Each structure stands twice: as structure tokens, then as C-alpha cells.
Homo-oligomer: A and B are copies of this chain.
Amino acid sequence: MKLHPQEIEARFRRHAVRVTRQRTAIYAALAETTSHPSADDLYQMVKRQQPMMSRNTVYYTLSVLRDAGLVREVNVGHDMARYDGNVSMHHHLICLGCGQIMDVMDDDLNRLQLSSGQARGFDVLGHRVEFHGYCVSCRQARRDVPSRRG
């Protein structure tokens, strides 16, 4: 979703995050897409508008936004971290072929709980559900070339 710069600035101030050109651009790029980009993806996107942008700044900014609760870090496998501008409670559907991540909004999944016996004294703060499979185009590709990983 495309956001007005002043809306981004308002969110930053609400979360006590200093407003800078770099941060605004990074957050805008993330809010505009639903593709859950990696830090480097964001770096590439933002560098087009701001060639001086450092990869380091992207990492630093994402950590600031993450700690402020403006951004969510999504980890899939042991690949690089990917980021999600949607911080409302939701879960993910992940393609094992191309790695794309789709959002799943489902109240039943949001309400999952452990019984007290299963919780083993943990103070459970949240949970995450990931569904894994193959998207339409990767299913097609796999039919064409059945591989050893099949």
C-alpha cells in the first residue's frame, strides 16, 4: 500500500522513531510491496532514489523499525531474513520452489493456544504458523522436470 510521506512521518513519531530521509524511503518501499523483501532487496530498491544509501543503513534502520514494532522480521529456512510491513497478526504460506511468501489472515490460527500442560511453565507471548508447499507456477515447473528433490 502506497503511503503519503506525512503518514509515514506520523507513524514514526507515534513510535518515537526519528524521521530521516533514509528511513522514510526504506519504510515506504516496504509498505508498498507485499513481497516480503530481504534487507538487500530493500537496499537495491531504495538505492535507485538515493544512490548514497548504504547497505548498513538499511540493516540499522530495519533493526530500529523492528524494535519499534513498525516492521516484522520473517525467517524462512536458514536463508537471509525477510521483512514484512504488515505488523497485524497474521501467518504465512511459503513456496518451497521460488521462496515467495504470501500472507494468511485467519482468526482461528490467530487464536491457537497451548494447554497449560503443554506450555511447561513458559510464559507464552505469541505463535507463528507457516504453511509450506508449491505455488501454481512451481507446481507446473516440477511436473515438467521431475528432480531428485521431487
Stretch at the interface among A2-10, A40-48, A128-136: A128-136
Give chain A's interface residues, CB within 8 Å of chain B.
Answer: 67, 73, 75-78, 80-81, 93, 95-96, 102, 104, 106, 109, 112, 114, 118-136, 139, 149
- A119-B93, A122-B93, A122-B134 known; A129 vs B112 contact (CB < 8 Å): yes
Query: Is A131 within 8 A of B109, CB to CB?
Result: no
Copies in the complex: 2
- Which of B73, B96, B104, B119 contacts A118 (CB under 8 A)? B104
Residues of B within 8 A of A121 (CB): 135-136
A75 and B81 CA atoms in complex are apart in Å by: 12
Residues of B within 8 A of A134 (CB): 122-123, 125
What are 5 inter-chain pairs, A to B, with CB distance below 8 A?
Answer: A78-B80, A114-B131, A125-B132, A128-B129, A128-B130
The A contact surface, by secondary structure, is: mixed
- Which of B81, B95, B128, B132 contacts A126 (CB under 8 A)? B132
CB distance from A139 to the nearest CB of B (A): 5
Residues of B within 8 A of A118 (CB): 93, 104, 106
- A75-B77, A77-B75, A78-B81 known; A124 vs B114 contact (CB < 8 Å): no
